[in-house]
Amino acid sequence: MLHAPPGRLTLGFLLPSQLDYPAQELLAMEAERGRVDALFVPAPRTPEAPDPVTLLSGLSGATDHIGLVATGPPSGQEPSQLVRRHTSLDVLSAGRAGWHLTGPAGKPADETMRLWIAAHRDGTPGVAPPVQRQPVLFRTDEPTTRDTFTARHADIILTAPQGRRSARRRYAEIADGVRAAGRNPGHVLVWRRWTVSATDSPAHLADRLQRCHEERAADGFLLSFPEQPGPLVDFVDHVVPELWRRGLFPNAYDGPNLRAALGLPERASIPGDVHA
């Protein structure tokens, strides 16, 4: 058996990095109007692309509830610098920070998580005490690698687009890996990446989301749209109300911070030997 019966559907939105700030702010506000759980900013691919933490710090002032997830690796900066940047986002957003940790996760990721918890518990010179005891940690699924860090520490695992049968099989494999790492699979969410087609009708798209969720192919979805802002506005105006009517998705934010809003438990500690 995998998790308990499915909980409610959870949703994230991938913010296009090539847009200017006013457009990004509009999209963030639209996503929050649709009660989307989290807003993702990808890692910069060009010198002109904004730094994810800096961009989300700005967007924290334009939003009140949506989670703010910055993408980036633990390498290239000292753990103390990483903690300072991410805890500052958590403070500015009143506990809405998440981290999509990319690349190999070894000792730098380990130390960053330890320093975050220490800043929350004891205070750390030069670091604002974060609101959340630890950030909501996202990891991209890498089924061909021996990535024990993800099974031990990820709160949400992002899987690639695939058919429902393959998605169900991978969902079960992830649950087995989490269980083997000594964790409860019910404390980890599996999100499927999904590019939303503008040709889908609201009812058809809601049907597809519902089937994937109820068949245990995904606990939620990281959505992207081919063009902006129209498709996101349409999704908020037409698909989200359909999900509300079906009882799959709440129509209001709940919980004092992102971790609580997603129904994720606090981790008791970061074990000593955690890196792959």
Whether the Cβ atoms of residue 213 and residue 6 lie closer than 8 Å to each other: yes
pLDDT higher than 70, residue 276: no
Q: Which residues contact 197 (CB under 8 A, 6 or more apart)?
A: 226
Average pLDDT along the chain = 89
- From CA 213, how far away is CA 262, in angstroms rounded? 15
Reported as a single tens digit per residue, the pLDDT across 160-219 is 988 889 999 999 999 999 999 999 999 999 999 999 987 789 999 999 999 999 999 999
Residues facing residue 223 across a β-bridge: 13, 194
Mean pLDDT lowest among 27-31, 103-107, 268-272 = 268-272
Is the torsion defined by CA of 270, 98, 275, 50 positive or negative?
A: negative
Question: Which of 94, 90, 91, 87 has its CA nearest to residue 65?
Answer: 94
**Residue 130 phi, psi (nearest 5):** -70, 160
Q: What architecture is domain 10-261?
A: Alpha-Beta Barrel (3.20)
pLDDT higher than 60, residue 46: yes
Check residue 2 and give its pLDDT.
Answer: 40
Q: Where are the domains of the chain?
A: 10-261
- From CA 168, how far away is CA 179, in angstroms rounded? 17
The pTM for the full model equals 0.92
**Residue 40 phi, psi (nearest 5):** -105, 135
pLDDT higher than 80, residue 3: no
Check residue 269 and give its pLDDT.
Answer: 57
Identify the band that residue 247 occupies on the pLDDT scale cut at 50, 70 and 90. very high
